[in-house]
Structure 1
Amino acid sequence: MATLEGCRCRSASTRNNSSILYSILKSDSLVTAEEPQQHQQQHSQHQTLQHLLLKGSSSSSSSSSSSFSSSGPGSLQELRQQACSCGSTRRRGVLRSPQVTCKAASAVLVKTLRFVKNVPCFRQLPEDDQLMLIRSGWAPLLVLGLAQDRVDFETTETVEPSMLQRILTGVPDRQSEILAGQTRVAVGVSVVDIEAIKAFLKKCWSVDISTKEYAYLKGTVLFNPDLEGLRCLHYIQALRREAHQALNEHVRLIHRDDSMRFAKLLIALSMLRAISPLVVAQLFFRPVIGAVNIEEVIMEMFYGK
């Protein structure tokens, strides 16, 4: 079982159970069970989220874009580079029903932050580590939540003008807009990025991931030891290992006839890591509230700052 030497990150619940990941399962179950009894509270949290998002919409898109970093592996970037040079990389998509989809994504974000708050071993980490883990994990946790709640969405395609089209029509390119101090950016996100998100959702639904499996996957995503500067690196590494081991044991116990199930879940995780937080923010929040630093909104919601 993972232990945290010097950080005192062991709650009372972990002393009574064989694994600290019990608190992750308990947290996820608590979030699910609380929903019918806490409808009013969730409505209030939605109002708070909308208030924070609208308050942040006055931020410039350039500062918003610089606050994000793509934490996924290079495979998605390579996929973009392999696209045909005739302009297919300029294909972009927008939500067909942005109000409906963004509202659903906001609900999942609220639920995701409640899940993280209810994990004792996370809240007892040093605050610097908490900040790093949230910044690294909010987007993949959100997409996992979309899969668990079976939130589907439709997009419609739009095409970003090519350089030649911009010259002929007199439309300035993004570099010129930045130099001119304008905040307008290209509409929508890359079709490649949208397809990556939808492929992940379909993968989860085809595997029919259970509630416990989602909880272990969330633990794997939340406790990310691959970040530079973590103070409790070894403890977080141990939690990641426990999540993998617990998931593997659960699959072997419950799905004895499906020898490939654990491998399928690992493939889903690799697909999830290829999704950029910037893309998630632009697709699910930007259409309704415009340019906003979503990380600042999340920090304010989580810590009440």
Structure 2
Amino acid sequence: MPGERLLNVLCAVCGDRSSGKHYGIYSCDGCSGFFKRSIHRHRHYVCKAQGELKDKCPVDKTHRNQCRSCRLARCFLVNMNKDGTVQHERGPRKAKQKILSVSNMILPSSTGSTAPPVACSSSPTIANVSTTSISNHFNRKPKLLPTQQQQLSCLSTIDHYNPFPTIINQITLYEAAARLLFTITNWLETVPSFKILPTDDQRSLLEDNWHYLLMINLSQWMVPIMAIQLTNNTVTQTDQIEIQRICDCIYKLRSLALDAYEYTYVKTLSLYQSSAKPLINQNHIDACQEHVLFVLRTSLMSHSATTYSIKFSQLIGIIQMMNQISANNVQRILFPSITHDVPVGKILWELYRSKSSETAL
């Protein structure tokens, strides 16, 4: 019907129904208006919460007006562009109007197919599908690769099995971290949306965001990195503070009890965070990030419609905490044997490129 809202697209800020694309993202009138007022009037808000709750207020349909500081932070987190224009996309003008979907390109492949990748020099072709197709997609879980199925079975019993020695030492810890680090290159091979990006974009995203992916892996596989403090008397006070920050992120993420699919969504979201370098295909990356936020929110809602918004807000808060941790600090703490002149991100990139070349042969 004319004037109908985009019922299948949620506000990326609070989860309410989106009224269209405002300042670069799909958002409701309330959040887009709040963002506009805050930017144009140069408002600076302060979160009134205390202790661990500070800067972690829930931002959803019910609580979005309670803390303007956290609401504005959420606007920036989901890439609301203060220099952008409002795109009046108020909904379908025809009953069969199609909307953009990147579902098949965001989530890991469901099979071990070795179909030739799209040439990196060309922009990715993203198919238009009906809103019904998108709804059907969100109602099913993505299939996992055989190796992922094995990992999922391990996760289901991980509470009863400790893969690490009772008396852990640093060598064991560093080895575990290294193994999880190199699984990142294997995982990237299952993300079609990443593989079709221009080579320069792939490199920038991996080199800038590898440490987020590693921290998420450490959380998922319950690696006790606090052992660094317990077994190394040479850790400096500065490093102890940084270790505590990393641990806080890892353990808080673990406390959310995400399933294997949701961990995949969080990793994909972290992979597509902004890069320090300009990206060639920024529009595609923005679309992927926006869509995976929607998929993640939908997955959390499927578990509990009453508590998902709180869990989602906590998750976004943890991602914000991770953003405050630099790749250099993660490398110095978890990979002390690697000289700082050789960034781990560059090592990972070379491994990924060599693996991709072998796969293409």
User: TM-score, structure 1 length as denominator?
Assistant: 0.61
Residue 319 of structure 2 is aligned to residue 279 of structure 1: no
Contact 1:200 1:272 (8 Å CA) reproduced: yes
What is the letter of the counterpart of residue 297 of structure 1?
A: I
SS at match of 1:192: helix
SS at match of 2:273: coil
Q: State which of 247, 258, 264 in structure 2 corresponds to 1:209.
A: 258
Partner of 1:33: 149
Segments of 5+ residues of structure 1 without an aligned counterpart are 37-95, 161-185
Partner of 2:71: none
Flag the structure with higher helix content: 1
How far apart are the structure 2 equivalents of 1:98 and 1:289?
15
Q: State which of 109, 124, 149 in structure 2 corresponds to 1:9.
A: 124
Partner of 2:183: 111
What does residue range 254-293 of structure 1 map to in structure 2 within 5 Å? 254-258=303-307, 259-286=309-336, 288-289=337-338, 292-293=342-343
After superposition, the C-alpha distances for 1:80-109 in whole angstroms (9 at most, x for unaligned) are xxxxxxxxxxxxxxxx72211111011111
Q: Taking structure 1 as reference, are residues 27 and 231 closer, same or farther at Cα in structure 2, changes over 3 Å only?
A: farther
What is the letter of the counterpart of residue 232 of structure 1?
A: N
How far apart are the structure 1 equivalents of 2:236 and 2:177?
19
Q: Taking structure 1 as reference, are residues 289 and 29 closer, same or farther at Cα in structure 2, changes over 3 Å only?
A: same
What is the letter of the counterpart of residue 148 of structure 2?
A: T
Tell me the CA shift for residue 226 of structure 1. Answer: 5.2
How far apart are the structure 2 equivalents of 1:210 and 1:112?
18
SS at match of 2:350: helix
Partner of 2:229: 156
Segments of 5+ residues of structure 2 without an aligned counterpart are 1-99, 106-120, 153-167
Q: State which of 258, 275, 279 in structure 2 corresponds to 1:230.
A: 279
Q: Taking structure 1 as reference, are residues 238 and 11 closer, same or farther at Cα in structure 2, changes over 3 Å only?
A: closer
What is the letter of the counterpart of residue 347 of structure 2?
A: V
Contact 2:229 2:240 (8 Å CA) reproduced: no
Aligned length: 214
Contact 1:31 1:111 (8 Å CA) reproduced: no
SS at match of 2:229: strand
What does residue range 1-305 of structure 1 map to in structure 2 within 5 Å? 1-2=100-101, 7-10=122-125, 18=134, 29=145, 31-33=147-149, 97-153=169-225, 154-156=227-229, 190-225=239-274, 227-258=276-307, 259-286=309-336, 288-289=337-338, 292-304=342-354
User: TM-score, structure 2 length as denominator?
Assistant: 0.52
Tell me the CA shift for residue 31 of structure 1. Answer: 4.6
How far apart are the structure 1 equivalents of 2:144 and 2:187?
6
CA RMSD of aligned residues (A): 3.4
What is the letter of the counterpart of residue 215 of structure 1?
A: T
Q: Which range is displaced more, 110-119 or 290-299?
A: 290-299
What is the letter of the counterpart of residue 270 of structure 1?
A: Q
Q: Taking structure 1 as reference, are residues 26 and 188 closer, same or farther at Cα in structure 2, changes over 3 Å only?
A: farther
Partner of 1:174: none
Contact 2:212 2:270 (8 Å CA) reproduced: yes
How far apart are the structure 1 equivalents of 2:306 and 2:295?
18
How far apart are the structure 1 equivalents of 2:209 and 2:143?
17
How far apart are the structure 2 equivalents of 1:218 and 1:27?
17
Contact 1:147 1:204 (8 Å CA) reproduced: yes
SS at match of 1:216: helix
Contact 1:31 1:115 (8 Å CA) reproduced: no
How far apart are the structure 2 equivalents of 1:159 and 1:278?
21
